[in-house]
């Protein structure tokens, strides 16, 4: 429990009390600016939200914060705020599922209909299976009994970054319009959550003809050979930028 003393607005003909004292708990420092100018229930609500977000960012999604007011008998025009925090247990991830990764189904259908041997049909995997997409999420991992080196706790900022990595994976495979159209986090129990991600892949792009303009130093044949991107290859913006920005060997 944290104990604070925060100023109230001065009554008529009274000087304002400047006191706003926080004790040892580091959460106090997070919301001190909010409480220092305490003047309404809205201020208390904002302080509760700040404290709760502090714990959510550390993986305590269901942390409970209660702020109780009482008069401060030691100081005129002030109140004591007792902040009770029950952070509860840190939440871990049990499921990460995907919807809309239809190219995974197309991949397997094309593979089955192809003339490739049994080995390829048995072991070759789509880059957009649920398993591969989960692997692209470097910091957001599901709980596994053998997960000794990777945490499965849910951290909101890491989750946002990992969603961008999913899109980067699609972009690298030619799906330049891919987006996450919706995602949801649902409670399983007080310690476990599930994540469901809906993807809109868009169409797949390929390189076609590449034209050069203003190339007075090198002819088109030389530049195209060094760029080494052929018509019909899967479009990859990152690869194209890398080759155009000095990694082609031409200077």
The CATH number assigned to the domain holding 51 equals 3.10.20
- Tell me: do 188 and 215 sit in the same domain: no
Last residue of a domain, one of 26, 58, 86: 86
Is residue 196 over pLDDT 90?
Answer: yes
Find the range with the poorest average confidence among 164-168, 208-212, 247-251: 247-251
- Tell me: do 187 and 221 sit in the same domain: no
Q: d(Cα 153, Cα 218) in Å, to the nearest integer?
A: 54
pLDDT, tens digit (0-9, with 9 covering 90-100), for 134-174: 999 999 999 876 655 566 788 889 999 999 999 999 999 89
Q: d(Cα 4, Cα 124) in Å, to the nearest integer?
A: 61
- Tell me: do 54 and 30 sit in the same domain: yes
- Tell me: do 236 and 196 sit in the same domain: no
What is the number of H-type helices and E-type strands within the chain?
8, 6
Find the range with the poorest average confidence among 105-109, 136-140, 226-230: 105-109
Is residue 78 over pLDDT 50?
Answer: yes
What's the pLDDT band for 13 if we cut at 50, 70, 90?
Answer: very low
Q: What pLDDT is attached to residue 80?
A: 77
Going by the DSSP 8-state scheme, the letter that residue 231 receives in this structure is: T
**Domain interval for residue 159:** 92-200
- Tell me: do 223 and 241 sit in the same domain: yes
Q: d(Cα 248, Cα 11) in Å, to the nearest integer?
A: 73
- Tell me: do 74 and 96 sit in the same domain: no
Q: d(Cα 128, Cα 200) in Å, to the nearest integer?
A: 12
Q: What pLDDT is attached to residue 14?
A: 43
Q: What pLDDT is attached to residue 8?
A: 40
- pTM score: 0.68
Higher pLDDT, 225 or 33: 225
Last residue of a domain, one of 40, 63, 86: 86
Q: d(Cα 193, Cα 61) in Å, to the nearest integer?
A: 10
Last residue of a domain, one of 59, 86, 113: 86
- Tell me: do 237 and 193 sit in the same domain: no
The domain that contains 144 carries what CATH number?
A: 3.10.20.310
Q: What pLDDT is attached to residue 181?
A: 95
Q: d(Cα 227, Cα 220) in Å, to the nearest integer?
A: 10
- Tell me: do 78 and 97 sit in the same domain: no
- Tell me: do 8 and 75 sit in the same domain: yes
- Tell me: do 115 and 180 sit in the same domain: yes
Q: What pLDDT is attached to residue 26?
A: 52
């Amino acid at each position: 429990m944290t104990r604070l003393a925060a100023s109230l607005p001065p009554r008529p003909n009274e000087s304002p009390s400047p006191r706003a004292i926080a004790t040892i708990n580091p959460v106090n420092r997070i919301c001190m600016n909010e409480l220092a100018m305490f003047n309404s229930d809205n201020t208390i609500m904002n302080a509760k939200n700040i404290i709760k977000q502090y714990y959510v960012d550390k993986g305590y999604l269901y942390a409970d914060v209660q702020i109780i007011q009482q008069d401060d008998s030691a100081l005129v025009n002030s109140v004591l705020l007792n902040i009770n925090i029950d952070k509860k247990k840190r939440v871990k991830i049990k499921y990460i599922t995907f919807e809309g990764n239809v190219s995974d189904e197309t991949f397997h259908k094309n593979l089955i209909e192809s003339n490739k041997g049994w080995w390829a049909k048995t072991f070759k995997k789509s880059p957009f299976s649920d398993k591969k997409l989960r692997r692209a999420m470097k910091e957001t991992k599901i709980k596994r009994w053998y997960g000794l080196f990777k945490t499965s706790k849910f951290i909101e900022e890491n989750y946002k970054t990992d969603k961008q990595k999913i899109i980067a994976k699609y972009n690298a495979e030619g799906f330049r319009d891919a987006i996450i159209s919706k995602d949801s986090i649902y409670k399983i129990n007080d310690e476990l959550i599930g994540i469901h991600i809906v993807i809109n892949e868009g169409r797949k792009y390929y390189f076609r003809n590449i034209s050069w303009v203003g190339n007075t130093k090198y002819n088109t044949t030389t530049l195209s050979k060094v760029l080494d991107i052929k018509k019909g290859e899967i479009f990859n913006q990152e690869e194209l930028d890398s080759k155009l920005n000095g990694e082609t060997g031409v200077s």
